Amino acid sequence: MSTPAFPDLPAGFRFGAATAAYQIEGAHDEDGRGPSIWDAYSHTPGRTRGGATGDTACDHYHRYPEDVALLRGLGVDGYRFSIAWPRLLPQGTGPVNPKGLDFYDRLIDELLAAGIAPAATLYHWDLPQALEDRGGWRVRETAEAFAEYAAVAAERYGDRVERWITLNEPFCSAFVGYAEGRHAPGAREGRGALAAAHHLLVGHGLAVRELRAAGAREVGTTLNPDRLHAASDRPEDLAALRRAEVLHNDVWTEPLFAGRYPEHEAETWAGLADGPWRRPGDLELIGAPLDFVGINFYRPITVEAAPRREDDPERRTAMDIGVAEPNPYGTRLTTMGWPVVPSAFTELLRDLDARYPRLPPVWITENGSAEADSVTPDGRVHDAERIDYLAGHLAAVADAIVAGVDVRGYYVWSLLDNFEWARGYEQRFGLVHVDYETLTRTPKDSYHWYRGLITAHRARTEEPAR
């Protein structure tokens, strides 16, 4: 495989790398951190691949100076990390943990000293278990607790954080966590998942208010809208496509960017859409203007009608929407089993832009690929597939920009190999390889390629080199 050319991105375009707290920090019970739903879930036998947990992960909590040095070596403009809610408020609400606050102070200061702009995600899935015990995202109190936590974080770090992301992929929190049960808290409910979806949006709106009140610089949120296709023109496949679109996309984008709840809700989850969790004023709260929207993209999805599993009592409540995902792309698959189709990324961005006149500027907050990486005897990691994936997807972003979409920057997922949720440590997304026995970090070929791209971009667009 020859090394792909660097994609042509405009002057001022920013490059970064991303991680999330539970996936890298470890130190799960240190310095007063409370348990989160991911501690409980990963410690439940049978939930994660090989029984993997985030107890140690990449030990970033202790090794953050080394990781910031890696970021500096990479030459990135920005770093997207997440703050662990249970480190700041171990019970989710109430007493604040000073040692938790100190950790992110140290991290942020280290980043700033390295010339790297911090982007902080407030919620990357690690809900304090104490709140789950009181209903989790099914109840509105959790959205209120989220606002309390956002205020604590904004007050403490608002002077130094450049970009605030309220939620990461609320689709996964609500539907993978409360309907499919493949993520924490591992619930399989219909009603609960729809209530969770709404309360996540309300929590976002309340957090935005707190961030604004504290004078936060840029405020936004991160979604993972999907580029969905129907497997055929058969009416049942088109209906399946519509249902999937509601769930994956419209539940989030319609209230955030069009001030309304999605159409076609009734056919998606008969009888549950107008749950008592929706209150007057919520749409205004949720739809308050944002400075940017973060988009995470990995692969397109094709859907076809599948029998609803109405014989399954747990599913009967609503969330089995009768959709299967065939894989007709005929392209290479990553080790996640995800097809590599960069053009779908351009289509997704163009589509969002065309559909929502109120769409704020876009930051790509995650994009990357999991590959079968290993350190070879020459001490390197030759991940040509990842370089190819990144080059293709950055070119797809460049195409979207040429077509008029306002994309400002890109954070590659991920800086480090890390705990890939229920898939454990087998999936490696990092630009830097992590040996989980020794915790040794080894920059992969893609790390050097990305660094080269950033350097070339700066030279070409005549920005001063650092």
Q: What phi, psi does 221 have (nearest 5°)?
A: -145, 165
Min dist. Cβ of residue 253 to ligand FCB (A): 17
Q: Which x/- pattern, by CB under 6 A, does the window 283-302 give for ligand FCB?
A: -------------x------
Q: Is 165 helix (H, G, I), strand (E, B) or coil?
A: strand
168 binds ligand FCB (CB under 6 A): yes
169 binds ligand FCB (CB under 6 A): yes
Cα separation, 353 vs 334, whole angstroms? 28
Please give the size of the binding site for ligand FCB, defined by CB under 6 A: 12
Min dist. Cβ of residue 173 to ligand FCB (A): 10
- DSSP conformational letter for 423: G
Binders of ligand FCB among residues 202 to 241 (CB under 6 A) are 224
Alpha helices in 89-139 (DSSP H): 98-113, 129-132
The encoded tokens of residue 418 equal: 């890390």
Active site residue 462: no
Beta carbon nearer to ligand FCB, 118 or 170: 170
CB 51 within 8 A of CB 35: no
Min dist. Cβ of residue 217 to ligand FCB (A): 23
Min dist. Cβ of residue 134 to ligand FCB (A): 25
Report the Cα–Cα distance between both ends of the chain, in Å, rounded: 31
Q: Which residues contact 100 (CB under 8 A, 6 or more apart)?
A: 31, 32, 33, 84, 87, 88, 90
The encoded tokens of residue 248 equal: 């994956």
The encoded tokens of residue 357 equal: 């006149």
Cα separation, 2 vs 5, whole angstroms? 9
Min dist. Cβ of residue 278 to ligand FCB (A): 26
From 168-176, 248-256, 270-278, 327-335, give the range in contact with ligand FCB by CB under 6 A: 168-176
CB 201 within 8 A of CB 139: no
CB 126 within 8 A of CB 36: yes
- DSSP conformational letter for 44: S
Min dist. Cβ of residue 411 to ligand FCB (A): 11
The encoded tokens of residue 124 equal: 């990357």
38 binds ligand FCB (CB under 6 A): no
15 binds ligand FCB (CB under 6 A): no
Min dist. Cβ of residue 427 to ligand FCB (A): 7
Q: Which x/- pattern, by CB under 6 A, does the window 400-439 give for ligand FCB?
A: -------------x------xx-------x----------
CB 105 within 8 A of CB 64: no
The encoded tokens of residue 71 equal: 């970021």
Beta carbon nearer to ligand FCB, 23 or 53: 23
Cα separation, 66 vs 63, whole angstroms? 5
CB 15 within 8 A of CB 457: yes
Beta carbon nearer to ligand FCB, 147 or 165: 165
Closest by alpha carbon to 249, among 136, 389, 241?
Answer: 241
**Cβ count within 10 A of residue 354:** 12
Among candidate residues 304, 347, 366, 385, the one labeled active-site is 366
Among candidate residues 169, 189, 254, 347, the one labeled active-site is 169
Min dist. Cβ of residue 415 to ligand FCB (A): 12
Q: Which residues contact 102 (CB under 8 A, 6 or more apart)?
A: none
Binders of ligand FCB among residues 351 to 410 (CB under 6 A) are 366
From 132-140, 167-175, 338-346, 389-397, give the range in contact with ligand FCB by CB under 6 A: 167-175
Beta carbon nearer to ligand FCB, 214 or 223: 223
Q: Is 14 helix (H, G, I), strand (E, B) or coil?
A: strand
20 binds ligand FCB (CB under 6 A): yes
Active site residue 169: yes
Active site residues: 169, 366
Residue numbers of the site for ligand FCB (CB under 6 A)?
Answer: 20, 23, 168-169, 172, 224, 296, 366, 413, 420-421, 429
